[in-house]
Structure 1
Amino acid sequence: MKQRKTKSLKFMRKISLAIAIFISLWSFSQEKIDGIAAVINEEIIIQSELKAQFEEFKRQNFGVETECAALEGIMQEKLLIAEAKKDTLITVNDRSLKPQVDEMANGAISRYGEEETLKLYGFATLQELRQEILKNLQEQSYSEQIRAKITGGVDASPVEVNNFFREYESQLPNVEEEIELSQIVIKPKLTEEHKQELKDKLLEIKKEVEDGASFATMAIVHSEGPSSVDGGMLANTKRGQMVKDFEAVAYNLEEGEISEPFETEFGFHIAMLEKRRGEILDLRHILLLNKPNEEEMKKAKELADSIKAKIDQGVLTFEEAVKEFSGDKNTRLNKGVVADPRTGNTRFVRTNLPTNLYLEVTGVDENGITSPFEDTIGRDEKVYKIIRVDKIIPAHKINLKDDYERIKKFAVNKKKQEKIDEWAKKHVSENFIKIDDDYKTCDFKLDWLH
């Protein structure tokens, strides 16, 4: 009985995307010396991938007790991906995944260095690494979309939440100390002189292109945007996919025309329209980021210090300061309240906060505010922040009174997993499945050996 319940709680946690992808990347480097555990249509499960994920499941206490159980979980995921690829209503936009590819690749490189990263994951070039990351992100997107399709509309009533809590109370995790925060974000302002320097550099680049240089090559050399590795290419671009200032320029260009330098929230650009098909554009651009210099950062710090002083003196409320000075569009219209962009949740486990933020709020009581400190947002944009600790929720044993929404989420996730299990049971026989002899004695829940 205990083993059954432990397995049924697999819905409580999910391996992080980053961990899953880098396990897969490491497994890719082992393919030549490794065996295949299972094949679902064209989806292959390498033995090293299985073993690495099983170890990660154990480390994070997923309740997956055997390698066979881990294999079945991975096979179900591969089955979802295989079926999603057949569904004409499920599509994956590679361009929308590109920022994540850049973030993950650059993160690994900044941590290990380029040469060591390629050696670690078994790739000859950065392009190969990026392609494999993209492939994994594509599969993640397919999985998320088909899961949403299968479990759409699933909810849990108050009675179901209560029943769930009574059944699983002893197995539900205790709640760690959480914290709610608000912020004022002060963005340094570039001087007019600094802005003109960036425009002049772009004008020089534009002249080189007009004199015969390749725009793509100049983008690779000079652009500081994520598309630089692709020669600044933004292919199949539609209205609504670009920030308004960029879109206004792009849609006024003729094919082959290069724009004058223009400014967006990211910095200064020049753009060249390569091809137009109605409202769909293929264009290239070069971006010079609006990175503040030392003097501009100093002025931003002085402004942040003056705001902090006014709040301390009662001249300005925190909310008034957010409205007047904060440069973060995600929190400015919400009185500075910080929320998880994926879930909307405003509570954060204190120990999961980024190190610099954790240190800044340590020792700050409820309704207290930090001194201004330097931080980064977005794509390493330097800013100064003032943080207010709105609420501290002490660590406690999970209960219905304080944690109803958390428990409801567990209950809903359980129902969703049950729906996915039912779906998988119906689709197993419709797919080509081959399992290595080493795993044919596993006691699977589904008939994978049909």
Structure 2
Amino acid sequence: MMKKYIHLLGTIVMAICCLQTAIAQGRLVDRVVATVGSSIILQSDIEMQYAQYLAQGEKPNDDMKCYLLQQLVTQKLLSQQAMIDSIEVSEAEVDDNLNRRMQVMVRQAGGKERLEEFLNRSLLQYKEEMRPNISEQLKAQKMQQNIVSAINVTPQEVKAYYTGLNQDSLPYFNTEVEVGEIVINPVLTKEEKEQFKLKAEGYRNQVINGSDFGTVARLYSEDGSAPYGGELGFATRDSYVKEFSAMAFKLKEGEVSPVFETMYGFHFLQVLQRRGEEVNVRHVLIKTKPTSSSLQRAKAKIDSIYDKVEQGRLSFHSAASAYSDNNETKYTGGMIVNEEDRSALIPMDKLDRETFTAIDPLTVGQYSKSFLSKDRTGNQIYKFMYLKSRVAPHKASMEQDFAKIQEAATQDKVNRKLSEWFEARKENTFIDINPDFLTCDELKLWVTKDESIAQK
């Protein structure tokens, strides 16, 4: 009991300091909405995350604030244990996470200026405000992974889980398919690449002749870092493809590289700062794009492969392993994996429209004709599809859906383990939720029954 009051006293002191700072700076006075051990959660913490939620294009929803506060409570518990267990995150991990978040938010807001207007602060200021929370989030994630890392389920446990389900309310699965693909990328000749290289050289010359690197990057770079002036943040050597890494780590601070090529196109970069084994660079990327001649060559190549497979002179799986340019599927014999549960079967309603259109008219064992498509990064490719199997709509069964039931059983075991962990921490940690939030069902879990009654 004394521990709880010591924690509470420390929290009150911290809250007073926060309020005094807010008053001194002429801002709206903040308030404490929850206390978790020696940490407090402020209204501004929730508002900042809610602003990020809205900046991602979501609709206003006050219930989301209840969810965000619950997430912050669990985050505090996990991160406090992470400190006890000496779990750390590096500055590079925090920078990478922040940069990815900013890139998504800039894209969804429709540009850097619009996002800054929405947030009412510069992105640099917002990133610095978010840094402590992101660091804490990453520590909490690592702690949670440690808690459940050893969990696995045996076939007997999967069977017991399935048997324990209400057999009258088992999930109903729509039509599912096993689908393969062979992909051919257009390949440019040295002469065809020259136009893109010259373009990058021209922009580099602007920088060498006195133009601001950041401005050139914002205006002309075709990389997602363009809104940030091409800046990528601190990263280790293995964060980049080898050509980029080799250039970034051999230059001195302030030095501008020559134009060089990677799988993404032609770059030039400038080293901004070194920090131990990490480097912060900014760059300009000019992507190479297929020419009509390179597309014709790719079409001829894939049609040749299609003819061999269709005529039985080469198996689909061997052709995919030998010729496909999609590294995600060539090592699975061309077969596409269900991203949700890593199984071979994919629900038809989860297929993208293009794949659905290609395989829907096929019978099992058939191949679609080759067609022009785009990969995940928007690059043009040619591919053809293979329908290996089609499973009719059915109610879940151990015979047909073992992988799905195993995944559900594993998740159930993970959830129970985490629930047990949080229950134990709740019993030994002072947790106080502002009465304004105790109308949220998800937050009632964090206070004892006596406290809940007293606050009504």
TM class, shorter-chain normalised?
Answer: 0.7 to 0.9
User: Hey, what does 1:362 align to over in structure 2?
Assistant: 360
Matched, 1:275 2:269: no
User: Hey, what does 1:163 align to over in structure 2?
Assistant: 160
User: Hey, what does 2:409 align to over in structure 1?
Assistant: 411
Worse overlay, 175-184 or 302-311: 302-311
Supply the RMSD in Å over aligned alpha carbons: 3.9
* Aligned residue pairs, count: 395
Q: 2:215 aligns with which of 217, 235, 247?
A: 217
Which amino acid in structure 2 is aligned with residue 420 of structure 1? L
**Distance 1:336-1:441 versus aligned 2 partners, 3 A rule:** closer
**Distance 1:415-1:317 versus aligned 2 partners, 3 A rule:** closer
Deviation (angstroms), 1:152: 2.3
Q: Give deviations 1:402-441, integer Å, cap 9, x for gaps.
A: 2223222222222221222222223235254324347359
Residues of 1 paired with 2:347 and 2:235: CA distance? 39
User: Hey, what does 2:419 align to over in structure 1?
Assistant: 421
DSSP-derived class of the 1:425 partner: helix
Q: 1:350 aligns with which of 333, 338, 348?
A: 348
Whether the aligned pair in 2 keeps the contact of 1:425 and 1:447 (CA below 8 Å) is no
Deviation (angstroms), 1:284: 1.8
Whether the aligned pair in 1 keeps the contact of 2:431 and 2:446 (CA below 8 Å) is no
**Distance 1:365-1:140 versus aligned 2 partners, 3 A rule:** farther
Residues of 1 paired with 2:78 and 2:340: CA distance? 22
Deviation (angstroms), 1:339: 1.9
**Distance 1:38-1:297 versus aligned 2 partners, 3 A rule:** farther
User: Hey, what does 2:9 align to over in structure 1?
Assistant: none
Deviation (angstroms), 1:182: 1.6
**Distance 1:43-1:324 versus aligned 2 partners, 3 A rule:** farther
Residues of 2 paired with 1:254 and 1:243: CA distance? 19
Which amino acid in structure 2 is aligned with residue 356 of structure 1? E
Deviation (angstroms), 1:236: 2.2
User: Hey, what does 1:61 align to over in structure 2?
Assistant: none
User: Hey, what does 1:101 align to over in structure 2?
Assistant: 101
Deviation (angstroms), 1:104: 4.0
Matched, 1:81 2:79: no
Q: Give deviations 1:244-294, integer Å, cap 9, x for gaps.
A: 122222233233332222111111111222333443222221111122234
User: Hey, what does 1:447 align to over in structure 2?
Assistant: 447
Which amino acid in structure 1 is aligned with residue 158 of structure 2? V
Deviation (angstroms), 1:179: 1.4
Which amino acid in structure 1 is aligned with residue 195 of structure 2? E
Deviation (angstroms), 1:351: 0.5
DSSP-derived class of the 1:226 partner: coil
DSSP-derived class of the 2:395 partner: coil
User: Hey, what does 1:42 align to over in structure 2?
Assistant: 41
Matched, 1:321 2:315: no
Residues of 2 paired with 1:376 and 1:126: CA distance? 35
Residues of 2 paired with 1:301 and 1:130: CA distance? 47
The structure with the largest alpha-carbon Rg is 2
User: Hey, what does 1:238 align to over in structure 2?
Assistant: 236
Deviation (angstroms), 1:161: 2.5
Residues of 2 paired with 1:83 and 1:140: CA distance? 11
User: Hey, what does 1:55 align to over in structure 2?
Assistant: none
With structure 1 as the length reference, what TM-score do the two structures score? 0.74
Q: Give deviations 1:157-205, integer Å, cap 9, x for gaps.
A: 3333232222214343122222122211111112323311111122222
**Distance 1:340-1:440 versus aligned 2 partners, 3 A rule:** closer
User: Hey, what does 1:434 align to over in structure 2?
Assistant: 433
**Distance 1:242-1:144 versus aligned 2 partners, 3 A rule:** same
Which amino acid in structure 2 is aligned with residue 145 of structure 1? K
Deviation (angstroms), 1:212: 1.4
Whether the aligned pair in 2 keeps the contact of 1:370 and 1:386 (CA below 8 Å) is yes
Deviation (angstroms), 1:389: 1.4
DSSP-derived class of the 1:329 partner: coil
Deviation (angstroms), 1:154: 2.0
Structure 2 unmatched ranges of 5 or more = 1-27, 54-62
**Distance 1:439-1:98 versus aligned 2 partners, 3 A rule:** closer
Whether the aligned pair in 2 keeps the contact of 1:99 and 1:226 (CA below 8 Å) is no
Whether the aligned pair in 2 keeps the contact of 1:185 and 1:327 (CA below 8 Å) is yes
Which amino acid in structure 2 is aligned with residue 156 of structure 1? V
Residues of 2 paired with 1:197 and 1:357: CA distance? 33
Residues of 1 paired with 2:409 and 2:265: CA distance? 46
Structure 1 unmatched ranges of 5 or more = 1-31, 53-66
Which amino acid in structure 1 is aligned with residue 415 of structure 2? Q
Which amino acid in structure 2 is aligned with residue 299 of structure 1? R
Residues of 1 paired with 2:323 and 2:170: CA distance? 43
Residues of 1 paired with 2:182 and 2:159: CA distance? 40
Residues of 1 paired with 2:146 and 2:247: CA distance? 38
Residues of 1 paired with 2:232 and 2:156: CA distance? 51
Residues of 1 paired with 2:176 and 2:122: CA distance? 39
Residues of 1 paired with 2:126 and 2:328: CA distance? 29
Whether the aligned pair in 1 keeps the contact of 2:179 and 2:386 (CA below 8 Å) is yes
Whether the aligned pair in 1 keeps the contact of 2:170 and 2:395 (CA below 8 Å) is no
Whether the aligned pair in 2 keeps the contact of 1:105 and 1:130 (CA below 8 Å) is no
Q: Give deviations 1:316-344, integer Å, cap 9, x for gaps.
A: 33234323431112222332122246753
**Distance 1:124-1:354 versus aligned 2 partners, 3 A rule:** farther
**Distance 1:433-1:293 versus aligned 2 partners, 3 A rule:** farther
Deviation (angstroms), 1:215: 1.7
DSSP-derived class of the 2:332 partner: coil
Residues of 2 paired with 1:236 and 1:128: CA distance? 14
Residues of 1 paired with 2:399 and 2:231: CA distance? 53
Which amino acid in structure 1 is aligned with residue 97 of structure 2? L
User: Hey, what does 2:381 align to over in structure 1?
Assistant: 383
User: Hey, what does 2:22 align to over in structure 1?
Assistant: none
Identity of matched residues, %? 23
**Distance 1:184-1:414 versus aligned 2 partners, 3 A rule:** same
Whether the aligned pair in 1 keeps the contact of 2:200 and 2:259 (CA below 8 Å) is yes
Q: 1:396 aligns with which of 380, 394, 397?
A: 394
User: Hey, what does 2:184 align to over in structure 1?
Assistant: 186
Whether the aligned pair in 1 keeps the contact of 2:260 and 2:267 (CA below 8 Å) is yes
Residues of 2 paired with 1:367 and 1:102: CA distance? 45
